[in-house]
Amino acid sequence: MRNPPTLPLKGGGWGRGRNLRSAIGMMRDYKEEARDLIEGRVLFDAPMKRYTSIKVGGPAECLLFPKDVKELRKVIRHAGRKRIPVFILGKGTNLIVRDRGIHGWVVSLTQGMKKVKMDGEVLEAEAGCPLQQLVQFSVQKGLAGLEPFFGIPGTVGGGLAMNAGAWGTELKDVIHSVTLMKEDGEIVKRPQSRLRFTYRNLVLPPSWIILKGRFRLKEGRREEILERVKSFSEMRKRTQPLDYPSAGSVFKNPEEGQAGKWIDETGLKGFRMGQAMVSDRHANFIINLGKATAEEVLRLMEWVERRVYEEKGISLEREVRVVGEA
């Protein structure tokens, strides 16, 4: 998923005229500053293949796990003052990190910001909460509306950022409001009427971070809700390559129909480059056979795009987000 969650701050990066030695020295300082900034975990040179669902990617120079909103605000404000590039990470689904990794600070919300609570027929979930956990909570409380999202491996924040959808339903259909943090740490709340959702996207200023979402559901019989969850789960198992690491659907569905259909018709199911392969179960998935590199995955994506355009005249648009040093 594009998570935003994965939303970068403006103003990051190294200014023109700084030489490499100066840049490396300042990044070392940034690492030391990160160590003392929060009580949550801080890791250095963390291999992103451990934090992405497709299991590829080079190291993040600094990976921070703020334990709550106060710590996140502290990180964001400090990074803004120091002009440190920041990348917000969910569960690393729908994400490919290049082999050279990510400069600056990667901030994960998955260890401290994942609470869920109930307010009548509205569920409120923090950005780091897994979507699957939210669906399970709704089943326990007898609230219907989230069943199609069971099995989507992302977080609430990532799901909202990309307007995640499955089986004809999108998160925009059940959202009540979203709470966000601006680049200066200010927190704002936007009701559904002030949110602009498009296909696989929530339009926000690029530096804003999703903190939590409130979902308007409906009361229902727990047994019936659970049956629908099981039905969607079985369909997912039958149609998707869940036994291999992947980043989910690679391409958005174009106006002409499902992306997987066009990829399949070009004969690319099972086609591979190194350890990256177009799934023979669902052509819109690229799977990691075990030791794939990000370069292999990206080369395969480019090959698929070229073949579909040459043979079908259709331009595929990527759903996965690609980040890191080229």
Give the active site residues: 200, 249, 319
End-to-end CA distance of the chain: 20
Dig out the tokens for 91 from the structure. Answer: 């569960």
Long-range contacts, stretch 258-266, CB < 8 angstroms, 24+ apart: 258/284, 259/283, 259/284, 259/316, 260/284, 260/285, 262/308, 262/312, 262/314, 262/316, 263/304, 263/308, 263/316, 265/311, 265/312, 266/304, 266/307, 266/308, 266/311, 266/312
Residue 37, token pair as written in the block? 């900034």
Structure-token pair, residue 62: 């600094």
Alpha carbon 89 to chain centroid, angstroms: 7
Task: Report the distance separating Cα 279 and Cα 286, nearest Å.
Answer: 6
Are residues 284 and 251 in contact, defined by beta-carbon separation less than 8 angstroms? yes
Distance of CA 98 to the CA centre of its chain: 15
